[in-house]
Structure 1
Amino acid sequence: MSDTPDTQMLSHAMSRPPAASPVSLLTPALARVPGSAWVLLLLVLVFSVSGQGFLSVANLLNVGTQSTILLLVALPMTLIIMTEGLDLSIGAVLTLCGVVLATVVIGTGSVGLALAAALGVGVAFGLLNGGLVAWLGMPPFVATLGTLGVAQGFALVMTDGQSVVGIGDTIPAIYAGAWLGIPIPLWIAATCYGLFHWLLYRSRFGAYVFALGGNREALKFAGVRVNRYLIAVYALGGLMAGLAALLLTARMNAGHPTAAIGLEFDAIAAVAVGGTTFDRGNGWLPGTLLGVLTVGVLRNGLNLLGVPSAVQVAAIGLLVLVVLLIESYKNKEKA
């Protein structure tokens, strides 16, 4: 006897695999969410329930504004780490650029000339770092550790260990000002992020950055001057240190010889938290942005709770370990 239409429909329905549940459909999507995003969400929840006005509009704008300097440093640090490099000097170079900026603006009264001098100093140290790594073959850790000492020493000698004050009102107004209700530092940071995103994902230079860490030998066989691009990456880091010096000096209303010492630790932490690894050219610029926000939220929340700065450094180290553990667990689950 042949099957009736009703019997055929019932048989077809029974042979189909069961429909995927919403939870099973959601799980792969959740697995793609970086660990830094989960930690950032957790920090926001914890600091929100702790009170202290963390979720107020004023404080959230403050978090963003305070994170701009770190973002300007973390963006080039991402590219440097993607080339299997490291820049331990960027905090000291930023400090020296700030001292130079303040000194020149006091001596000449020209903010443009002062900024040009700061950018020039930053690029000079970037070229020095790149040359030591690319041409002399020095390990990035050793090379930039040496230039860290040089930059810090110059800053102390120039100022005799004292803050350079009397820079006027123009530079501080940059940090305190706003356009369309949004602080100017946020506009600067957003512009820099957009430029770096284009540079890394839409330009030949960005493709070479990926290859410098992922397959440098292939670049050499293709006739690309590898050393030139490697030096350019470090020079870009110096340039951004000079730009970040403008915001740091504006924020402090002075050039201080130790203002940004240790900022390289926060930058490396933000890049690592964001998912960029130290091998094979693996990097993700949106992840760096997430990492910067995570570090910024952590510091801001701890400041509101009155936690000492020494403990905050330990907390950032713990943050890096937690995020890396989350990513390690996710990779094991995929395997």
Structure 2
Amino acid sequence: MAEAAAPSVRRSLELRSPGIWAILVMLVAAFSLLAPGFLSGGNIANIGRQSSILLIIALPMTLIILTEGLDLSMGALMALASMGIALVSAAGYPVPAAILAGLAIGLAGGLFNGLLVAKLAIPPFVGTLGTLGIAHGLAVVLTDGQSVVDIADAIPDFFGSRVLGIPAPVLVAAAAYLATHFLLYRTQFGVAVFALGGNREAWTLAGGRVDRCLVAVYAFGGLMVGLAGFLFTARMSAGHPTASLGMEFDALAAVALGGTSFERGDGWLFGTLLGVLAIGILRNGLNLLGFPSSMQVISIGLMVLLALFLDGLRRKP
């Protein structure tokens, strides 16, 4: 059954990636002392809002990596989806139509990646790198590199809104997490994802369709990128052709921090959530302390190496 693919919560908490737990404790302790207002309710809500976008793309990135794949195009596809959302909204169409446009763009990009990897047997690194270039070029060409700012007020208002006191983007990210968790741990689709990374040959001999599963995984990733594109547009109050470039780095870092292996189909979704929180806390704390974005990227890289080092120590005999 699909449930067998999921480790128990207790086993996950005890055995997987103690490095990320140690890092989370250190980050919260350090910024609580060094950054005034870090533990305020407003700042915690801000961390949740900012992390929601990263979580939505890190979830499908986890599934892609579990199949021993990779998607380098997520940041560029998000920019293209954001531009599509902004252009449709600026043209006077209702917000739902703009959201559907972003989802369609993301889904098309994901299907394209899946076909490159599954049908044409192009290595994921090469195929998604090509998609990155195409999506980035289209996002720039659409408006000659200019931002689209004449969007409906309802879009940026959504990012700052709350439902029962909880920021709306956090609720969207929570729904995305629950949906992905269900797919991965409670469906045959999830069984196929783990089988593709764990023992692809055995799964193929058992009658599994590798090509269909791979296309589905990348298509799901594209759909989630489209959703993240809506939140990103709401956050920026505009469509911007380059602002989200590089977010795939944060997504990959979150997956690595969470303990998902880049081979053998070994990983867990909750670990990705912890990795996203660690990156969100780190970026927020460094912002409060006045560190530039370049230092934040360096710090994320160092944090990933530290987490892997701590986990390596645990595995040594």
TM-score normalized with structure 1 length:
0.89
Aligned residue pair count: 305
Is the contact made by 2:35 and 2:285 (CA closer than 8 Å) also made in structure 1? no
Name the residue aligned to 1:197.
Answer: 181
Name the residue aligned to 1:145.
Answer: 129
Cα distance change of structure 1 residues 312 and 127 upon mapping to structure 2, 3 Å threshold: same
2:52 counterpart letter in structure 1 = T
Is the contact made by 2:63 and 2:193 (CA closer than 8 Å) also made in structure 1? yes
Q: Does 1:160 align with 2:119?
A: no
2:298 counterpart letter in structure 1 = A
1:215 to 199, 204, 229: 199
Name the residue aligned to 1:324.
Answer: 308
Name the residue aligned to 2:165.
Answer: 181
Q: Does 1:227 align with 2:211?
A: yes
Q: Does 1:284 align with 2:268?
A: yes
Q: Does 1:169 align with 2:153?
A: yes
Name the residue aligned to 1:87.
Answer: 71
Is the contact made by 1:102 and 1:165 (CA closer than 8 Å) also made in structure 2? yes
2:288 counterpart letter in structure 1 = L
Name the residue aligned to 2:25.
Answer: 41
1:194 counterpart letter in structure 2 = L
The SS at the match of 1:162 is: coil
Q: Distance in 1 between matches of 2:35 and 2:209?
A: 55
Name the residue aligned to 1:25.
Answer: none
Name the residue aligned to 2:239.
Answer: 255
Which ranges of 4 or more aligned residues in structure 1 deviate by more than 2 Å?
A: 29-34
Q: Which moved more, 1:145-154 or 1:222-231?
A: 222-231
Q: Distance in 2 between matches of 1:55 and 1:31?
A: 29
Q: Does 1:134 align with 2:111?
A: no
Deviation of residue 32 (structure 1)?
5.4
1:111 to 86, 89, 95: 95
Map of 1:16-27 to 2, 5 A cutoff?
none
Answer with 1 or 2: which has the greater Rg.
1
Is the contact made by 1:76 and 1:236 (CA closer than 8 Å) also made in structure 2? yes
The SS at the match of 1:288 is: helix
- Consecutive unaligned residues of structure 1, counting only runs of 5 or more, are 1-28
1:165 counterpart letter in structure 2 = V
Is the contact made by 1:71 and 1:292 (CA closer than 8 Å) also made in structure 2? yes
Q: Which moved more, 1:207-216 or 1:49-58?
A: 49-58
Matched-pair identity in %: 58
Q: Does 1:242 align with 2:210?
A: no
Q: Distance in 1 between matches of 2:99 and 2:165?
A: 25
- Which digits, 9 at most, give the CA deviation of each residue in 1:217-258, with x for residues without a partner? 112111121100111100011000100011000111100001
1:309 counterpart letter in structure 2 = S
Name the residue aligned to 1:267.
Answer: 251
2:18 counterpart letter in structure 1 = P
- Which digits, 9 at most, give the CA deviation of each residue in 1:154-186, with x for residues without a partner? 000001111101102111121111011111001
Is the contact made by 2:59 and 2:180 (CA closer than 8 Å) also made in structure 1? yes
- Consecutive unaligned residues of structure 2, counting only runs of 5 or more, are 1-12
2:154 counterpart letter in structure 1 = T
Deviation of residue 51 (structure 1)?
3.2
Cα distance change of structure 1 residues 34 and 111 upon mapping to structure 2, 3 Å threshold: same
Name the residue aligned to 2:289.
Answer: 305
Q: Distance in 1 between matches of 2:216 and 2:144?
A: 32
The SS at the match of 1:172 is: helix
